[in-house]
Amino acid sequence: MQTHQYQLTLYLPDDTAQPVVALPKAERPRVKDLSIREAAIQYLGELPDGEKPVTRLLHYGAGALATDELLACVFGQNGHGHADAQHLLSAFEGLPGLAQATVYELQQHPGIGPARAAQVKAALELGRRLLVAAPHERPQIRQPADAANLLMAEMSLLSQEHLRTVLLDSRNRVISIPTVYIGSLNAAAVRVGEVFREAIRANSAAIVVVHNHPSSDPTPSPEDVQVTRQIVEAGSLLNVDVLDHLVIGRQRFVSMKERGLGFK
């Protein structure tokens, strides 16, 4: 019986073509011996152009894409960005895990080198900054939830306690949100003058104090109450209204003013 030798054409990312000799069926790796990513690349190849995330975003808008497709768009058209995005989201259990991961940790996963790790961190940082960066659409704080929503997505993921102040103008619009202190919150460590330093520089009419609990439980501690009392008293002397002190946990927050803790 006569046998035939065939050639396949492999299209590389730079649009050049290279002939590849097909292996006999018996010598091809079995799917169970490959990772999901490797199997998808070998047996499925690239997605058709019309199904690629970047193409879908251009046709239907970013809102129509799943999270893994959006992350694949960050990686661009070349390579196997969609498979790499799916693997990364699975490994870190979604966007919150990616936000916590370091550049080094991201690079420990297949398909993620320094450039892609930097792309992921840059995209997440841009999303965070968008919450307060548009000067013509500065958020206005009307209730505790307005301030909490500005910071909860990021601060609920922090591994250390951060104390921040939301600086407000006379119409309670956000001016900026500086970090005042990092570390365990207690009256001996937190200098009240530092809490108001940026507020005075920005001529803020009012502030909202916000800090997180890495334990994920937003229940205020006795130290939180003591610090709040000192901050409120200092604000009264400096003519800067302390509207509230929020404690952020994992996707939850507590308004200390609503609970009457540290406020008269």
Tell me if 262 is assigned to some domain: no
Q: How many whole angstroms separate alpha carbon 134 and alpha carbon 172?
A: 16
Helix (H) or strand (E) holding 6: none
Tell me if 264 is assigned to some domain: no
pLDDT at 48: 52
Tell me if 123 is assigned to some domain: yes
pLDDT at 18: 46
Q: Are residues 6 and 128 in the same domain?
A: yes
Q: How confident is the model at residue 21 (pLDDT cuts 50, 70, 90)?
A: very low
Tell me if 261 is assigned to some domain: no
Over 60: is that where the pLDDT of 6 sits?
no
Q: Are residues 53 and 84 in the same domain?
A: yes
The total number of structural domains that make up the chain: 2
pLDDT at 78: 63
66-76: pLDDT as tens digits: 888 888 888 87
CATH of the domain at 9: 1.10.150.20
pLDDT at 182: 86
* pLDDT higher at 122 or 246: 246
Beta strands 253-255 and 174-176, pairing class:
unpaired
Over 70: is that where the pLDDT of 213 sits?
yes
- Phi-psi label, residue 203: left if phi above 0, alpha if psi -120 to 50, beta otherwise: left
pLDDT at 24: 52
Which range marks the domain in which residue 149 is found?
A: 139-255
Q: Are residues 98 and 162 in the same domain?
A: no
Tell me if 260 is assigned to some domain: no
Q: Are residues 33 and 158 in the same domain?
A: no
Q: Are residues 122 and 165 in the same domain?
A: no
pLDDT at 191: 82
Cα radius of gyration (the chain) = 26
Question: For residue 167, how far is the Cα from the chain centroid?
Answer: 22
pLDDT at 35: 47
Q: Cβ of 33: how many Cβ atoms within 10 Å?
A: 8
Which of 133, 152, 172 is the last residue in one of the domains?
133
Mean per-residue pLDDT over the chain, rounded: 78
Evaluate whether 106 touches 88 at the Cβ level (below 8 Å).
Answer: yes
Over 80: is that where the pLDDT of 133 sits?
no
24-76: pLDDT as tens digits: 545 444 434 444 444 444 433 455 555 688 888 888 887 777 888 888 888 87
